[in-house]
Chain A
Amino acid sequence: MKLLKVIANNFKLCEKNFTINFIPTANKTKEDKEFELQEIDENLFTFNTIGIVGKNASGKTTTVELLNLVYKMFSEFQVDMEMIKAYQEPINLKVYFYHEKKLYYYVTDLIKEENAGVVFFENQKIFQRKYQKSLRNLFDDSTYKEVESEYKLPDNISNLFFIFQKIQTRGTYCQSNDNYYKNFAKTYQIYNLLYKKADLVKSILKMLDEHIHNIKNLEDNKYLIIYKDNTEKEVNSKELYEVLSSGTSKGLSLFTNVVFSLQSGYDLIIDEIENHFHKALVENLINLYKDKSVNKKNATLIFTTHYCELLDLFTRNDNIYICKFDKKIRLENMHETYNIRPEFSKSNKYYENFFETNVDYETLMNFKKDLM
């Protein structure tokens, strides 16, 4: 399954018809096909990396939270109350996707049922058509036919179940919140799913902390740290978090997710990808998704960042979104909104305030003045 386009209404503070596109809208060069795009069917390409940038509080995290909700729906056919907590209006979603030679679009309203503590799917419809190896009318709804539901599912289960039949991770979300990375049990759960590739944790740790040789999960909440000088230390989860640097804790979890994503082909969302990491580590992570000898199953990496130099890793503009907040959160596609040649340094343009993303100088000086 690959997402092609997500359109949301009433999701948190997002503007009407808030849209994220996963397929290229600009010309595709040979080089792009080598590094930037993945061919999921004949002539049908999706991005292998999508970058989201913007000022603080511009809506980057909200954008990836929306995608997290969509992937959760596609993976588990349910949505957690937590995900739409503070908002009363029904959320309306329309998602175009590709799955096993067919194109689909799915519409639903998400409604909180406070009493039951669950989210209901209402007004659901799924439409489909065969992929005809042409991009013509890809998003023309009149070319799709409705798929009749086989039977009625409970209200908190999405009809996407009828398409996919089984629960399976199709996308996952790595938050920027450090608390998320205290959960080593989850990390080792994923690690075990990788058929216990013994050297995997070691090679991740080698990138993150040169003093640690390995960390073994002995049993529930019991870990063994083996240092380079052969000394060992047995710790519980809480102690492990205290012993490791914040970069190592986050990296161990995040890179385990990266490995699983690349090996199984599911999409990975990372909020604030640069947080806690050396620039080379982040660049290497992004490059892994652009390398077809590693990303063999067409996984897509979606990330937010404040580090505009990372945009220079992109040779296209249509896979970069700029978040703006002005009463509502809106997304600008770099290709559609700004007329810049893809080969130009995007970070230079960013510093020139071409995308109107700079922090106002007077605001910075105002703060300094208060301290003087």
Chain B
Amino acid sequence: MKYLIMCEGTNEEALISLLLDKNKLKFSRSDLIGLKPYHARQLTHPVIITELKHYNGPTTILRIGDSQKDELKIPKDLQRIVSKKNVIKYCTKPELEILLIINENVLKDYQKSKMQPSKYIKKYFHQKGINYTKSNEFFKEYYKNIQDLINNLEEYKRLKKHSKDELYLVDLIK
């Protein structure tokens, strides 16, 4: 059994890569299709399709994103490799940047602002003279101490209630 990690955005991909590299997840790169998380919403790109076909064994898809309203379509020729019941959603709502807000301890101020987390945090960091970019480099630098990220994921789960079919990123931590 292998996992295919599909991240909705580059942010999610950066966080998962960070946790993988620090060996904090319940699985390692060698358990992953293509040895890496992919930035992809649907099973359409030939690179992902060929990787799945080359593996040709049972695969669980872990979808990482915020709301993930769109249903994952599984092409016919991949249905013997991935079944619908093996698609699991991990959500961080309303946006991944909520973790940064938790870490900066500005949750109340953010709630008052009624802004989107990404816009709020960009403005907040700007005021502090920090340039926030949705990039691998930013997250690597920001979560140099990986325990901060794990604490934020735990705190997020304590604060937020998801529907039954949406799990929390902290559930992937070993």
Kindly list chain B residues whose C-beta atoms are within 8 Å of the C-beta of A290.
47
- Which residues of B1-55 have CB atoms within 8 Å of chain A's CB atoms? 34-36, 39-40, 44-47, 50-51, 54
B44 proximity list for chain A (CB < 8 A): 31, 343
Chain B residues touching A, range: 10 to 19
In residues 14-51 of chain A, which contact B (Cβ within 8 Å)? 31, 34-35
Question: Across the interface, do A35 and B47 meet the contact criterion of CB distance under 8 Å?
Answer: yes
Q: Specify the main secondary structure of chain B where it touches its partner.
A: helix
Is A315 in the interface zone, CB < 8 Å from B? yes
Extra inter-chain contacts (17) besides given A34-B39, A290-B47, A315-B46, CB under 8 Å:
A31-B44, A31-B45, A35-B45, A280-B54, A283-B54, A284-B50, A284-B54, A287-B47, A287-B50, A287-B51, A291-B34, A291-B36, A291-B47, A313-B46, A313-B47, A315-B45, A343-B44
Question: Residues of A contacting B46 with CB < 8 Å?
Answer: 312-315
Q: Which residues of A contact B34 (CB under 8 A)?
A: 291
Interface membership of A293, Cβ < 8 A: yes
Whether the Cβ atoms of A283 and B50 lie closer than 8 Å is yes
**In the assembled complex, which residues on chain B have CB atoms less than 8 Å from the CB atom of A283?**
50, 54
Min CB distance, A291 to chain B, in Å?
Answer: 7
Q: In the complex, what distance in Å separates the CA atom of A161 from the CA atom of B34?
A: 40
Task: Tell me which of A293, A314, A343 has the highest count of chain B C-beta atoms within 10 A of its own C-beta.
Answer: A293
**CA distance in complex: A315, B46 (Å):** 7
How many angstroms between the C-alpha atoms of A171 and B34 in the bound complex? 27
Q: Smallest CB–CB gap between B150 and chain A, Å?
A: 23
A293, B36: Cβ atoms closer than 8 Å: yes
CB-based nearest A residue for B36: A293
Q: Which residues of B contact A315 (CB under 8 A)?
A: 45-46
Q: List 20 A-B contacts (CB under 8 A).
A: A31-B44, A31-B45, A34-B39, A34-B40, A34-B45, A35-B47, A280-B54, A283-B50, A284-B54, A287-B50, A290-B47, A291-B34, A291-B36, A291-B47, A293-B35, A293-B36, A312-B46, A313-B46, A313-B47, A315-B46
| Nearest opposing residue in chain A for B50, CB measure | A283
How far in angstroms is the closest Cβ of chain A from B101? Answer: 25
Q: Which residue on A lies nearest to B10, using beta carbons?
A: A34
Residues of A within 8 A of B47 (CB): 35, 287, 290-291, 313
Contact partners of A291 in chain B: CB under 8 A:
34, 36, 47
Q: Quote the shortest CB–CB distance from B54 to chain A (angstroms).
A: 5
Q: Which residue of chain B lies nearest to A284 when distances are taken between CB atoms in the complex?
A: B54
Q: Which chain A residue lies CB-closest to B9?
A: A30
Task: Kindly identify, within residues 47 to 82 of chain B, every residue whose CB is under 8 Å from any CB belonging to chain A.
Answer: 47, 50-51, 54
Residues of B within 8 A of A35 (CB): 45, 47
CB-based closest 8 A-B pairs: A313-B46, A283-B50, A293-B36, A287-B47, A280-B54, A290-B47, A34-B39, A35-B47
Look across to chain B and name the residue whose beta carbon is closest to the beta carbon of A280. Answer: B54
